[in-house]
Structure 1
């Protein structure tokens, strides 16, 4: 620490910081237009100049490092004169009509002019260059007449987001910010994330959705957690009364540090959609009618109590929700277990990361992301397999691109040429369903070339000899034939991964959604252990969870084999613990998984299905089978915010609240428990999910005393060791990563640093290659695979209500290779029929060389052209996850 003086205030400060940082930390305002915290400064605006005693010239505070004894004046006559000149030049060199500008009241240039007493520009330009407003983007308007060339948008786009769309074009007085090769923003490679809008200090970049919705002084900001993917971005809801009129990212946070994707920033229209469920509905003679809460709950309870009396608790099954809070998921599984008496409870993790939970729990002892989102940007090498990271987890994709900007290496193993593949040092375009041979082949090379971390393997693992024996058969030549890649590329990939100082593996459902998904996850773990890349900073095995609270729903025990905290229902001590905590006898019988429930309905084992916030009619494989099961089920209750495809088949539909109307917590993909804060009153006659469930439990004879979500979190902490230290007060700022064992525990950013959750050592669990259950044949000659896209989320229950997102991508499609299209006489944009053994759909053909010959890809989000009508329900025998990523299909012209 050193001593400096700013404006006659003596300050102790950390050596190496710049003047702007120290001033900000000590509440001293220095204006700036171009500065971005944590990013190199462009020094382009010069508005932050200060006077340093002993120096002959003014210095930019953002670039001047402090030194012991430094004396600084931030508002001397020379400083103020310089700033006035800068501001006068800027407002004279553009069209800044504050009264009509959307940034009025939230403009750094306006604030600086006001502070400096500038009412009119001091200079008059003879003529200003004609600059046309760019209105081509769906989400953003650009008005270069208001641009002050601070470069913040360029810096954010290039250095923090990594898209590199924006740059400064032309020279001298003609300079302006352009998109790509001076394209319109809507025709450029811009993904419309809006991060440029957030940092713009003037009204040069504005969000179209916020135009005319309120000025800065009309707006109240409420911090909460994004309801979309598992990144858990922190955001402010901009509220004007009870309406959301905009969203901005919270800066300086661990999960997203001031960045959002297009869905997080602009996908909020669903909250106020006219399609929101606003009152309970009861189906009579195949038609829904409105009902009161009393009537709906009475019907539900009469039916549930009768079924329980006649058939017992195991005649019930429940699907909890990865989109609801931890507290709501906790109450849901408690309802199923304590009020009904069954372990037949599950949720959509069964369809995405059940194999992660099973696989990593086996090898490491904990089925969760080992490291943090923030440290991803510091890795020396990324191995991305089975994840389209920049589209499905865009902010984590931004961290990867930051790392690439710093010189990190990238290996991508994917069936499609995803956006990151274009930036990869090595792209392995593997055949769908061949992850295990690829990983075994890489480990074969690592062992053969003696590149493994022997000290780590000897001291921290067991089972190496078995692994060595299995992978010896997977030579580069063998693997190349199976995977459809070059054997030399396999060798190169293995050497790159094994020799990197730090290496992070990122994977998602391209690894998990297979009949061998659990073994695929364990193979990922094997390779990380082999090279000593677990328990270290910027390394790890990092499964990217698909939904906002899928990690939390698992943590809360919305699983048929696990109480909260992954405490097993088959363990007598666990049963006794929860019987004491809940005051009721509990079942130790393993429950049915989500994928088993629908078959059990057809076999008349399940008579009542209670679904909270899930839409299996679109998300589950073999949709025709799901539909048949729901229609056959004696009594179906759906609790949701919209009349989903699943809700349409229910007997009773209960209207719940959205994330913007509730308090509670979500747990993101890095195990970080973060707050969800209500910003508005519940719409119509909707009710909070946990309040509905508590009323149902009461009607079933089980009383709870909870009055708010904070009280539920207290009970969660009391019975869940990994959440033992969690409380609303403790997670206020940046949340806490579990395990957090008690009130004094700081949380755990990196797992397995000293010992593994399963014990002192991790274990290698080698796997042999098993082809997907369904292979192409003469009748169905293509491999069919599915995935997600940037502009939509899950079954589009929410994003499908957002006009802008639908304009960017509003319909289903199938991607196919140009050679396949030519052979079948199929042209770009033509409607084609795609079929499998389970059904057929009509969709638009997207002919692209990003996909290999013989492979078809469809996004699974859309009801029109429903991909999951085609997918195979074959199950992983361990995790019971369906093989959504591979089946046999064919395509033909209509």
Structure 2
């Protein structure tokens, strides 16, 4: 076994460091800074600049510290006169690449600090270099480039985009974008990694050029997807001007996508609502907080009086903190007396929670993102990770490029599908037949882990019988893929242990979304890929805190910890000191149905644009018309508020409050306030507590701060008892279960057993084809999803410069389909289903198959959900966003 630590001697000092570090890293641990130009902790050693050379006893020549392993007994000298003279000479060579004169662009940069330390100044002539100043986020002037190569390496080794290319040799060595024309025309995804690593400012954030160095930095968690990347917000004169990655973040490991890095501009958007409003005579009027809160309380109370507690409902926000979501469901149950509370997990990953809960006993990811690097095989199902979870997607791509087998199941040829060992491009809506056929191959070919199955599962015999109809050939005919590819994928998954499955909305947003998740869990059970590092079944959660909102109890049949009401009452009642409602609650979809039928009179909606987000928008609008009152808590005038709102309560942004988020791997992380709330806006915590006071239920809602709310959460949910704010400050994010303060958190679920000491259960699943099938009148099957540069309904990204990168939705159309319509790239196409229509510009591409167009849905004017249908998952009610029969015509 390798030693946990080793001892070495540097400059006469005895040092003890963890084993496995480079000498450069080991010395840095003890404050010994060795100069370097080409090194970055995120990159493999290059030994290109030679500035980090050190003298090692027993070695004839100096060695590069970045590429030398720190080993037991090593003796080094780092700053001898000879080494310092050599470094000065090397810096003079590099400085000749830069024009003499005032180096404004390099102010504060690592290279400038090195020049200052060694008394060297730029001494070259002005020279031409690639320049680009038209990018919304990056300002490039490569006349300041010193040929360190870090931009080329970070783009390749971390992001995997390979945009920057080195050309020529020797003193003529320089870098250009892959197209040699423009970053905007290249494959650049605007992650900013090149600007982050550039030591001279040759590639720089445009905001730094405009605003200079920030006054201070605040570490927090990204408010976009469920990856949970950590970022440092740079503030200048009371405004956010920069966002940079946190190098030691266990989740994002010093990397961010375009949204986390640059899309913070919504914070200062001109149309942000910062004053309370009440609608009178059809028009919004600004009012005081007292007047707005009174109006909201009266409306909610009136609905209860007229229709009982079941006549009012609450929709929580998956963008809000854990603490705010906990208070939201507590408010529904104690202040309004109803279990009518839900969140947007209902329209995305409710099938993941239900499906995993049915089979494994816990409805959350079994493993950690760190297991991507431990997996011997990766199975990515219905998840366009490089666009929707870009940091996770980049890590998967790097593993595939390193030779780890990758199977992608997705109708489209996504970036990961292009890297895949096997890509199963199935017909939309046919997940279950494919998963059942994979299971049958594993069993028929003797690839199952029988020891695991016998010791830890039940129900196998009936399950095997249920699979008999699903031969690879039958599934191939249903799914539109080759039977032999199904066999290849099954063999790879079953024989490359540990194998890790990651899935997205392409699995869950179907009428059999829950069944699809159960079928994926079955594959893991059959192969013993549970309870192990590098394995498991892992949903890629959509919004930043959708996992947290569900775990906090924002669900009609669950309390905190996503535990059934009956099971969690014993923990909640002593703390809450009040009885809970007896009548069952409604889901988000059920509440809208009830509104249309006149049974639900009032709705409180926090950070959730229901009208724009829900499928079958025409029916959604008809149902919302049935409400007597709609109280909206948000940053912006959402489409829901614009059309149906009666009271608007302005909310604080994620950058204006304290709390925690929970990412898709069950990790609780701190959210820190960087700015005071804008205008008169308030946090959801303050709003809910003030409303509770007006409804006569103030006692259980008197919390002075977010931490006091979290401490109550710890009282009612044993699995987070050991996660304190103090620990989160010291240790960073912690994964539940974490039952006490000495527990490190749980990276892998089910290592010792399944909940309650029971066995995992194989479930019998029957395939029900979608009603959305191609017909003579609607011959195409439309698929929908997010894009890299925008997030969901673009409430936030639509108010940033991301609009310059992708201003509108697009309709991906296969060349054969485009030709049949007489459409060329960029022309408008009208898409019509049985439920509605929309018009988008065509993007002609072979990423989609003939007959299967794909549309993004972030653009409000396009309003893609006017066409998506009413189908719902039979277990959870999750809408069927991923397959809609449509007709197309040139607009």
Q: Give the TM-score category using the shorter length.
A: over 0.9
How far the C-alpha of 1:186 sits from its partner, in A, is 1.7
Give yes or no for the alignment of 1:82 onto 2:96.
no
2:40 maps to what in 1? 36
Distance in 1 between the 2:621 and 2:71 partners? 71
2:352 maps to what in 1? 356
Secondary structure of the 2:67 match is coil
**1:292-313 deviations in whole A, cap 9, x for unaligned?**
1011111112222233233221
**1:644-700 deviations in whole A, cap 9, x for unaligned?**
111112000010110110100000000000000000111101111110000001111
How far the C-alpha of 1:141 sits from its partner, in A, is 2.2
Distance in 1 between the 2:361 and 2:426 partners? 30
Distance in 1 between the 2:551 and 2:144 partners? 49
Distance in 2 between the 1:109 and 1:514 partners? 53
* Native 8 Å contact 1:94 1:128 kept in 2: yes
Distance in 1 between the 2:375 and 2:525 partners? 17
How far the C-alpha of 1:834 sits from its partner, in A, is 0.7
2:648 maps to what in 1? 653
Change (3 A) 1:535 1:666: same
Change (3 A) 1:685 1:459: same
The 5 A counterparts of 1:360-759 are 360-569=356-565, 571=566, 574-648=568-642, 649-703=644-698, 704-732=701-729, 733-757=731-755, 759=757
2:805 maps to what in 1? 808
**1:188-241 deviations in whole A, cap 9, x for unaligned?**
1111111111111111111123322122xx421100000000000000000113
Q: Which moved more, 1:817-826 or 1:252-261?
A: 817-826
Distance in 2 between the 1:202 and 1:130 partners? 16
**1:91-138 deviations in whole A, cap 9, x for unaligned?**
11123755421x411x111111112233x35xx55x665323133543
Give yes or no for the alignment of 1:298 onto 2:294.
yes
How far the C-alpha of 1:576 sits from its partner, in A, is 4.9
Secondary structure of the 2:428 match is coil
Change (3 A) 1:97 1:771: farther
2:67 maps to what in 1? 63
Give yes or no for the alignment of 1:108 onto 2:104.
no
How far the C-alpha of 1:156 sits from its partner, in A, is 1.3
Secondary structure of the 2:353 match is helix
How far the C-alpha of 1:517 sits from its partner, in A, is 0.6
Distance in 1 between the 2:424 and 2:396 partners? 18
1:154 maps to what in 2? 152
* Native 8 Å contact 1:522 1:766 kept in 2: no
Change (3 A) 1:575 1:781: same
* Native 8 Å contact 1:384 1:413 kept in 2: yes
Distance in 2 between the 1:371 and 1:97 partners? 54
**1:443-470 deviations in whole A, cap 9, x for unaligned?**
1111111111111111111111122112
2:759 maps to what in 1? 761
Distance in 2 between the 1:416 and 1:766 partners? 29
Q: Which moved more, 1:764-773 or 1:496-505?
A: 764-773
Give yes or no for the alignment of 1:841 onto 2:845.
no
Change (3 A) 1:206 1:524: same
RMSD: 1.6
Change (3 A) 1:288 1:2: closer
How far the C-alpha of 1:624 sits from its partner, in A, is 1.5
* Native 8 Å contact 2:823 2:890 kept in 1: yes
- Alignment: residue pair count: 883
Q: TM-score, normalised by structure 1?
A: 0.97
2:890 maps to what in 1? 893
Secondary structure of the 2:132 match is coil
Distance in 2 between the 1:758 and 1:209 partners? 53
Distance in 1 between the 2:518 and 2:139 partners? 47
How far the C-alpha of 1:567 sits from its partner, in A, is 2.3
**1:800-838 deviations in whole A, cap 9, x for unaligned?**
0012x1111111222222212222222222112111111
1:50 maps to which of 41, 51, 54? 54
Give yes or no for the alignment of 1:11 onto 2:15.
yes
* Native 8 Å contact 2:217 2:233 kept in 1: yes
Change (3 A) 1:618 1:758: farther
* Native 8 Å contact 2:597 2:623 kept in 1: no
Give yes or no for the alignment of 1:782 onto 2:776.
no
1:251 maps to what in 2? 247
1:227 maps to what in 2? 223
Distance in 2 between the 1:406 and 1:97 partners? 44
How far the C-alpha of 1:283 sits from its partner, in A, is 0.5
1:854 maps to which of 851, 862, 865? 851
Secondary structure of the 2:176 match is strand
Distance in 1 between the 2:852 and 2:862 partners? 17
1:174 maps to what in 2? 172
Change (3 A) 1:731 1:818: same
* Native 8 Å contact 2:138 2:206 kept in 1: yes
Distance in 2 between the 1:814 and 1:71 partners? 62
* Native 8 Å contact 1:526 1:766 kept in 2: no
Distance in 2 between the 1:129 and 1:834 partners? 52
* Native 8 Å contact 1:380 1:403 kept in 2: no
* Native 8 Å contact 2:689 2:702 kept in 1: no
Distance in 2 between the 1:380 and 1:885 partners? 30
2:879 maps to what in 1? 882
Change (3 A) 1:578 1:64: closer
Secondary structure of the 2:625 match is helix
How far the C-alpha of 1:37 sits from its partner, in A, is 2.1
Distance in 2 between the 1:574 and 1:231 partners? 28
Distance in 2 between the 1:33 and 1:767 partners? 58
Q: TM-score, normalised by structure 2?
A: 0.97
Distance in 2 between the 1:115 and 1:721 partners? 54
How far the C-alpha of 1:38 sits from its partner, in A, is 5.4
How far the C-alpha of 1:628 sits from its partner, in A, is 2.1
Unaligned runs of 5+ in 2: none
* Native 8 Å contact 1:374 1:399 kept in 2: no
Unaligned runs of 5+ in 1: none
How far the C-alpha of 1:778 sits from its partner, in A, is 1.9
Distance in 2 between the 1:508 and 1:274 partners? 34
Distance in 1 between the 2:511 and 2:101 partners? 62
Moved over 6 A (4+): none
How far the C-alpha of 1:378 sits from its partner, in A, is 2.8
* Native 8 Å contact 1:96 1:146 kept in 2: no
Distance in 2 between the 1:59 and 1:887 partners? 62
* Native 8 Å contact 2:601 2:626 kept in 1: no
Distance in 1 between the 2:535 and 2:563 partners? 28
* Native 8 Å contact 2:100 2:126 kept in 1: no
Secondary structure of the 2:184 match is helix
